[in-house]
C-alpha cells in the first residue's frame, strides 16, 4: 500500500452565479481514519465531494494531499494521485463480469502500452496476470470473490455496491471518497458494508471521507465528523461530541440551540 498522507481542506469556498454553496470550510482527514461529512439536505456535502474529486473548481481556498495541491486539477489527475471516489448511484457496466469491471480500476496502474497488449507480448500478458490476481485478492477482501465471473448487473444491489467499492480499491488509493455507500440497502447489507469499510481503514490503512445519511453507520465508523449547514462548517470533532452539539441539534431538528432536546438527537 502506498504511503497514506493527510488530506487538508482549507478555507474552501464555492460560488455558483452569486450563490455560495461552500463558505470557507476547512477540515483535515488524518491518515488511516474515517472522516464523515454530514449535514441536512442542501448543506453542501456533495459540492464538497465534487471539489475534492475535481468535478467542481473551488472559487477560493485549497485542497492538499500531503504537500501536493489538488485544487484545480482535473478528475483524472486527482485520481492518478491516489484519490478514488464512489458515487451514490451505481456506475458499473451491467453486462461486464465483476472481474473485468474491477480490472478497470487497475487502468491507472497499467504500464503496458496499447500495442503490447494487443499483440499479447509476454510483458503485457504477465502484467495482466498480476492485475487479475490483485483483483481476486481485493474481491476476496470485500466478500465477492465467488461472483467474479458473474455479470455485475446480475448481482443483488448490495453486492453491486460492494463491487463498486472493490473497483475503487483496485486503484490502490491513498484516500477513498464514499458518497452514501449504504443508501438503499437492507439492514443486513448495511452492516456488511460498514464492516468492509471499517476493514479498509483498519487493515489497509486507507483514509476515508464519508458522506452518509445513516447516522448509525456514521457514528459507528467515523473517527472525526465535520458538520455542514447551508455551506458552512457549524461543528466538528468526535462523533459523541458532534451529536450533542447544540448547533447540530438545531440544524437537524430545527430546535433552538438552548432547547432541552440537547443530547437527545442522534445527529
pLDDT in tens, 4-51: 789 999 999 999 988 999 999 999 999 999 999 999 888 999 999 999
Q: Assess if residue 88 is contained within a domain.
A: no
Question: pTM of the predicted model, to two decimals?
Answer: 0.84
pLDDT in tens, 60-100: 999 999 999 999 899 999 998 999 998 777 778 888 999 99
Task: Compute the radius of gyration of the chain from its Cα atoms.
Answer: 20
Residues 18 and 117 in one domain: no
State the pLDDT at residue 110: 60
Residues 166 and 194 in one domain: no
Residues 96, 141: Cα–Cα separation, whole Å:
21
Enumerate the β-bridge partners of residue 27.
9
DSSP code for 26: E
Residues 44 and 98 in one domain: no
Residues 93, 98: Cα–Cα separation, whole Å:
9
Domain of residue 155 covers: 93-170
Confidence of residue 2 (pLDDT cuts 50, 70, 90): low
DSSP code for 153: G
The number of folded domains in the chain is 2
State the pLDDT at residue 247: 87
Residues 186 and 255 in one domain: yes
Secondary structure tally for the chain: helices H, strands E: 10, 10
Distances (CA, A) of 75 to 14, 49, 70, 131: 17, 12, 10, 23
Is 240 in a helix, a strand, or coil? helix
- CATH code for the domain of 241: 3.40.50.300
pLDDT in tens, 190-226: 999 999 999 999 998 899 999 988 888 999 999 999 9
- Please choose, from the candidates 78, 69, 84, the residue with its C-alpha nearest in 3D space to the C-alpha of residue 179: 84
Q: Assess if residue 87 is contained within a domain.
A: no
Beta pairing class for 34-38 and 224-229: parallel
Amino acid at each position: 500500500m502506498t504511503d497514506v498522507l493527510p488530506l487538508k481542506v482549507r478555507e474552501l469556498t464555492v460560488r455558483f452565479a452569486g450563490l455560495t454553496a461552500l463558505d470557507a470550510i476547512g477540515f483535515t482527514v488524518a491518515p488511516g481514519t474515517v472522516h464523515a461529512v454530514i449535514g441536512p439536505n442542501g448543506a453542501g456535502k456533495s459540492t464538497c465531494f465534487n471539489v475534492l474529486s475535481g468535478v467542481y473548481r473551488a472559487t477560493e481556498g485549497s485542497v492538499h494531499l500531503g504537500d501536493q495541491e489538488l485544487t484545480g486539477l482535473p478528475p483524472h489527475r486527482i485520481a492518478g494521485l491516489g484519490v478514488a471516489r464512489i458515487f451514490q448511484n451505481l456506475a458499473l457496466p451491467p453486462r461486464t463480469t465483476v472481474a473485468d469491471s474491477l480490472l478497470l480500476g487497475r487502468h491507472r496502474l497499467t504500464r503496458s502500452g496499447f500495442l503490447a497488449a494487443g499483440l499479447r507480448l509476454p510483458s503485457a500478458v504477465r502484467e495482466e496476470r498480476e492485475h487479475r490476481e490483485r483483483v481476486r485478492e481485493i474481491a476476496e477482501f470485500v466478500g465477492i470473490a465467488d461472483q467474479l465471473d458473474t455479470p455485475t448487473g446480475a448481482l443483488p444491489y448490495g453486492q453491486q455496491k460492494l463491487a463498486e467499492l472493490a473497483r475503487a480499491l483496485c486503484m490502490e488509493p491513498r484516500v477513498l471518497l464514499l458518497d452514501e455507500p449504504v443508501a438503499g440497502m437492507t439492514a443486513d447489507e448495511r452492516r456488511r458494508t460498514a464492516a468492509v469499510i471499517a476493514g479498509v481503514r483498519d487493515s489497509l490503512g486507507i483514509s476515508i471521507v464519508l458522506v452518509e445519511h445513516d447516522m448509525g453507520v456514521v457514528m459507528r465508523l467515523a473517527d472525526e465528523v465535520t458538520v455542514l449547514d447551508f455551506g458552512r462548517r457549524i461543528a466538528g470533532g468526535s462523533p459523541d461530541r458532534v451529536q450533542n452539539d447544540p448547533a447540530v441539534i438545531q440544524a437537524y431538528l430545527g430546535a433552538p440551540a438552548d432547547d432541552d432536546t440537547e443530547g437527545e438527537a442522534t445527529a
